[in-house]
Amino acid sequence: MSNTQSNFGLPLVDAARGDVVGRQREIELVVAALGSARHILLEGPPGTGKSTLLRAVAKHAGTELIFVEGNAELTPARLAGHFDPAQVLAQGYTPDVFIDGPLVHALRTGGLLYVEEINRVPEETLNLLVTVMSEREITVPRLGRIEADPGFRLIAAMNPFDAVGTARIAGAIYDRVNRLSVDYQSEADELAIVLREAGDSPLAERAVRCVRATREHNDIRIGSSVRGAIDLTLLAQQLAELRRIAAPDDRCGLDAAYAALSGRIRLQESCGRTAEDVVKEIWRASDPAASGDEDQSGKA
Ligand SMILES: Nc1ncnc2c1ncn2[C@@H]1O[C@H](COP(=O)(O)OP(=O)(O)OP(=O)(O)O)[C@@H](O)[C@H]1O
Ligand SMILES: [Mg+2]
């Protein structure tokens, strides 16, 4: 195929791996799909590295990654672009008063259009994307036909927890993309990510254990991503400095855990507990010295 591009090959996989912890298979699949001029849907919980992976692939492919946040306000005009009303009054509807939206920009320049939270995008706008995916061109009223540069690809992302309250995306989209499910990282990869983002810290392992525990806890509907472990580790280190102690202690860790995790977890509505209470339980249980003992330290 003429639009299969040779810069989507093994050297790209190897280069992208340098910027991403683990995820070799996912990188290979993304590169394979882009190399075959196919579109992609990444489906996975928040913080699982979807954006990180795409940023790395785009950077090393020398392609622009054009971010679009999917939400109810993403109208076709916002996605494609619009005529500047003031200039239209002076000049009329001429092509140079058209302000390219992210879609037209990606089509013209052969960039990767990355639509996050695609399941929040209104139907009308999704229809525009369906057209682009099948025809590789769009027609904008008063502007005319815009053909996709051969480099253009659509990459969509969505979060499975979001399926409640938002419409599932249409079958027409699913039939035009290759779906890659991206699940939580392994414990070893999460630790490597935290060490990379927060520096070497004595609390990094414990922070990772805590966020992993939030995903298994009976009172929690949605647990924390690795972002919670990164923040817990960073906050505890800063607290230790502010409190003039050499290394973060249990108290710094607990305070950091409250701040880093209580807003990130979603409790089961029926559990009748506060987020702080659940975070404290998880923090205590993650102490390697506690070895499964219940909260023996009493009230903090
Ligand atoms: N595999 C990874 N390699 C390196 N860093 C990672 C990896 N996974 C996650 N991270 C780090 O975790 C954080 C969240 O990752 P990222 O933003 O890529 O997740 P996401 O899947 O795009 O999340 P969302 O669905 O919320 O947009 C970032 O700080 C990122 O650096
Ligand atoms: Mg993201």
Please, what are the domains in the chain? 10-181 (3.40.50.300), 187-285 (1.10.8.80)
- DSSP, collapsed to helix, strand or coil, labels residue 91 as helix
CA atoms within 13 A on the CB side of 72: 3
CA atoms within 13 A on the CB side of 40: 30
Q: What's the pLDDT tens digit per position in 65-77?
A: 999 999 999 999 9
The pLDDT score that the predictor gives to residue 128 is 94
| Residue 288 binned pLDDT confidence (cut-offs 50, 70, 90) | confident
Reference 147, options 191, 204, 104, 118; nearest CA is 104
Structure tokens at 56: 């790395």
Reference 115, options 96, 134, 128; nearest CA is 128
- DSSP, collapsed to helix, strand or coil, labels residue 287 as coil
The pLDDT score that the predictor gives to residue 289 is 79
Instruction: Enumerate residues lining ligand 1, CB below 6 A.
Output: 20-23, 46-52, 116, 159, 185, 193, 197, 226-227
Please identify, by atom number, the ligand 1 atom nearest to the C-alpha of residue 53. Answer: 18
Q: Ligand 1 centre and the CA of 89: distance in Å?
A: 45
CB 70 within 8 A of CB 115: yes
Largest CA distance in the chain: 76
Alpha-carbon distances of 149 from 2, 31, 87, 111, 201, rounded to whole Å: 12, 18, 28, 8, 47
Q: Which residue has the tokens 């409190």?
A: 243
Structure tokens at 88: 């239209």
Q: Ligand 2 centre and the CA of 261: distance in Å?
A: 19
Residue 191 has pLDDT above 50, yes or no: yes
